[in-house]
């Protein structure tokens, strides 16, 4: 026995005790239900990916942060930092048998070796929605409405969260009107993505070092002062394809009834270089936390992985930020009321054990959560123990109960009690 | 674009396409439901564990097979090969606030670097049930009955699977009666665990090399010919503690009504050295596959991790063997009938798109799985596409439908069709 032995998980990684799992399950259930109701199909792959696949397509920042290792046969492997390269690999592998468009979802653990700050760990779970092989902006609307559905399941409304959207195609049109040729756009996007994270002077420096003149760099930064889609349309021109696509997108949002959740925001760029069209990020309305989810349209992803050219829209929604927001919101709440019945059963002495087992089996057959004490205990200990867990009902069996042939079922929520025959226990309800 | 680029996952690791996820979800759901109904609480931790934790407690074979790596700060990390060391670490970390007994479950991905054979990959998901801090063999009965409940959910009966059980305590009693002192028991268990995997002569060699005489080695192997608990009791003595515990265990199995699933089997030993009491392994009745699940009682696990001494019972149930058995059983089956409604919606031209969106939103609000076509398509293409997926109903909207204000809802299972007002679509049922 060594008392200096650490009982902590590795740095930046999380243990989930039962009380932590309750929130995680609530989030995962909302994600899963939203995906399934909207007709997304589940896929998954191993958290270990070949480094080659990850290097082939990854955001610029990510590659340095990958956890890599070499297996016993000398293979270069890695813990995936995101799911998109794997998704592209899986689709490319079956591109001749899969019929597009695909609507796929996954909940995947992803790893990044980075400094830990609020809303960032070295691992997190990320819900991904992707629609591959669809040009219509209905794809963007489906993905955003599915993410909003999940947030609604978790109790959020348009008064507590907001999806900010923009378009890289629009930004390109605006940059061209400003006199910046296409070959500078990718660099410009990556610099502009630092808005709010770096000083304006530093961003300007990045633009200049990227090849723009002092004057053009200033003009680029002026574009960031555009406040509305109308203002943007006045510069880009109402006949610009980017504006027409955004108008169509807004029309879909209105049919979906989710316009109040959305807001045009010229400063939304996204860090990854593979986005080519509409991009979006969801925040808590007070902007106290990092982005809740984000994504956008990519048109060349599959081709870069050696697949056919097929456009798509993707979204990533991590579990860390949303957990922090929910915990902060509910910090002062009462214990959340139980969603389903859960019965605790115990007994005074070993003689009542067989009866207790039979009652437990009866309720389990009815698919009711039933915890059975594994050894006899005092009534006081049992009720105090049952009170600290998520039980709705408690049954304590003593020798008198067995003799009388009845049991008393305590409802722990409303403090009532009913009597029931021991051989055919009555059903319980919330 | 590079056509030589590999689209395979790393060797020994699995991709799950939507058709693979359906089976996996069925298995995971059975595991989760069985755990929850029986009152086990979910826990989880990160797939990356510190090597120190894993080395501290691991089966003898496992340590060589661990995937290890060093992070950028020089920490020795590993992909966990099993969940038990992590469980012991988590409990030790909170031993002063957790009240025993605990009933915990998890579904955890685990990694082993090994040669791949039938039923073995380099990663698998393992359902773990553990009861910590309970002496009563009711703990063994609860765990085995919960695992059987999951198998029943998956369609298995006592005619297709069998749980073989034995007791290391009984084996120890038998070894002592044979004249083998306790210090040789652990070595003897590990040698006997190779029965059926290695030649008898090799096992005998292991026993001799472990310090037993030729004569004692032969006697040990003769013990393996014991056919029933009664025979064992005749040698060990009916008053032996191990026999009394096994009788109590059998009594619980009978109250649970699961005796037909169980069979005493002197050859069940289990490879891990930490088991101290009843051990069990579940097989398909024809013994065509590897063990479906296995486990047993350990009494010193927590203490070895620097925690208090607290006994427990644990079980591990992997996804690979059970998937192979289910796939083999159902290889000739028809497509399994859908469990819930799923509607596909499409339309002839872009003009019907807004109507189609509204109908999709209507059904999604009713929590029915609803897939919406993202662009217009020909009726023939739509119905052929809908037929290949898991849809139960299909709605195709043309200009005439919009004009008439009605839609036709096709039931794809019984080939009937009903008409419904377009503004208030009727509910659908299986």
CA A371 to chain centre: 31
Per the CB < 8 Å rule, is A46 touching B93? no
Taking residue A230's Cβ as centre, other Cβ atoms within 10 Å add up to 11
Give the pLDDT score at B1. 38
A131 contact B CB<8A: yes
Beta-carbon contacts of residue B378 (< 8 Å; ≥ 6 apart): B348
Contact B314, B295 (CB under 8 A): yes
- State the pLDDT confidence band at B300, using cuts at 50, 70 and 90: confident
Per the CB < 8 Å rule, is B375 touching A136? yes
- pLDDT for A362 beyond 50: yes
Per the CB < 8 Å rule, is A44 touching B16? yes
Mean pLDDT, residues B311-333: 89
Mean pLDDT, residues B346-364: 97
Give the pLDDT score at A2. 42
Give the pLDDT score at A3. 44
Share of chain B above pLDDT 90, in %: 77
Domain B342-421 has CATH 3.40.47.10: no
Domain ranges across chain B: 18-333, 342-421
Give the pLDDT score at A272. 74
Give the pLDDT score at A57. 64
- pLDDT for A175 beyond 60: yes
Chain A, residues 323-352, CB within 8 A of chain B, namely: 342, 344
Of the residues A3, A4, A8, A9, the best mutation for testing chain B's interface (the one with the most B CB atoms within 10 Å of its CB) is: A9
Of A12-16, A305-309, B178-182, B275-279, give the lowest mean pLDDT range.
A305-309
Residues in chain A: 430
CA distance B49 to B146: 28
Give the pLDDT score at A42. 97
B187 contact A CB<8A: no
Contact A108, A126 (CB under 8 A): yes
Of the residues B4, B25, B28, B37, the best mutation for testing chain A's interface (the one with the most A CB atoms within 10 Å of its CB) is: B37
Cα of A174 to nearest chain B Cα, Å: 29
| CA-based nearest residue to A142, from B103, B227, B364 | B364
Per the CB < 8 Å rule, is A48 touching B369? no
Q: A155-164, pLDDT tens digit by residue?
A: 999 999 999 9
Chain A, residues 261-300, CB within 8 A of chain B, namely: none
Chain B, residues 45-74, CB within 8 A of chain A, namely: 45-50, 52-53, 56, 67-73
Mean pLDDT, residues B401-422: 95
A78 contact B CB<8A: no
Per the CB < 8 Å rule, is B364 touching A18? no
- pLDDT for A211 beyond 50: yes
Q: A85-137, pLDDT tens digit by residue?
A: 999 999 999 988 998 899 999 999 999 987 767 667 899 999 999 999 999 99
- State the pLDDT confidence band at A274, using cuts at 50, 70 and 90: confident
Give the pLDDT score at B71. 84
Q: Give A18-333's CATH code, choosing from 3.30.420.280, 3.40.50.970, 3.30.70.560, 3.30.930.10.
A: 3.30.930.10
Whether the predicted model's global pTM rises above the 0.90 cut? yes
- pLDDT for A334 beyond 70: no
- pLDDT for B169 beyond 50: yes
B131 contact A CB<8A: yes
- pLDDT for A4 beyond 70: no
ipTM: 0.92
- pLDDT for B399 beyond 50: yes
Q: Which residues pair with A104 in a beta bridge?
A: A41, A130
Q: Is B78 helix (H, G, I), strand (E, B) or coil?
A: strand
- pLDDT for B62 beyond 60: no
- State the pLDDT confidence band at B3, using cuts at 50, 70 and 90: very low
B108 contact A CB<8A: no
Residues in chain B: 430
- State the pLDDT confidence band at A335, using cuts at 50, 70 and 90: low
**Average per-residue pLDDT in chain A?**
91
């Amino acid at each position: 026995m060594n008392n200096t032995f650490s009982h902590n998980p590795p740095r930046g990684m999380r243990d989930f005790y039962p009380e932590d799992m309750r929130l995680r399950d609530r989030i995962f259930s909302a994600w899963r239900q939203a995906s399934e109701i909207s007709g997304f199909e589940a896929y998954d792959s191993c958290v270990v990916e070949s480094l080659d696949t990850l290097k082939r397509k990854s955001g610029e920042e990510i590659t340095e942060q990958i956890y890599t290792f070499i297996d016993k046969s000398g293979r270069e492997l890695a813990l995936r930092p995101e799911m998109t390269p794997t998704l592209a690999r899986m689709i490319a592998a079956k591109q001749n048998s899969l019929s597009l468009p695909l609507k796929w979802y996954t909940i995947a653990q992803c790893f990044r070796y980075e400094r830990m700050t609020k809303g960032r760990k070295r691992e997190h779970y990320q819900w991904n929605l992707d629609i591959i092989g669809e040009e219509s902006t209905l794809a963007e609307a489906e993905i955003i409405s599915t993410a909003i559905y999940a947030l609604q399941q978790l109790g959020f409304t348009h008064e507590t969260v907001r999806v900010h959207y923009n378009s890289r195609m629009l930004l390109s049109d605006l940059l061209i009107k400003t006199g910046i040729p296409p070959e500078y756009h990718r660099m410009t996007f990556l610099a502009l993505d630092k808005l709010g994270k770096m000083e304006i002077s530093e961003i300007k420096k990045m633009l200049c070092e990227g090849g723009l003149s002092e004057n053009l760099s200033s003009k680029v930064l002026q574009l960031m002062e555009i406040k509305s889609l109308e203002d943007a349309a006045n510069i880009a021109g109402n006949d610009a394809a980017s504006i027409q696509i955004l108008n169509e997108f807004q029309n879909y949002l209105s049919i979906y009834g989710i316009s109040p959740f959305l807001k045009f925001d010229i400063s939304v760029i996204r860090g990854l270089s593979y986005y080519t069209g509409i991009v979006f990020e969801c925040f808590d309305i007070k902007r106290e936390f990092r982005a809740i989810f984000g994504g956008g349209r990519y048109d060349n992803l599959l081709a870069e992985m050696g697949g056919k050219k097929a456009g798509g829209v993707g979204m990533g929604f991590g579990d860390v930020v949303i957990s922090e927001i929910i915990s902060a919101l509910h910090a002062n709440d009462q214990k959340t009321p139980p969603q389903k019945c859960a019965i605790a059963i115990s007994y005074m002495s070993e003689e009542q054990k067989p009866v207790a087992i039979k009652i437990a089996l009866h309720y389990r057959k009815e698919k009711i959560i039933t915890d059975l004490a594994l050894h006899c205990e005092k009534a006081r200990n049992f009720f105090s123990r049952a009170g600290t867990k998520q039980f709705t009902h408690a049954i304590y069996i003593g020798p008198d109960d067995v003799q009388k042939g009845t049991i008393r079922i305590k409802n722990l929520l409303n403090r009532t009690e009913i009597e029931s025959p021991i051989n055919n226990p009555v059903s319980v309800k919330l």
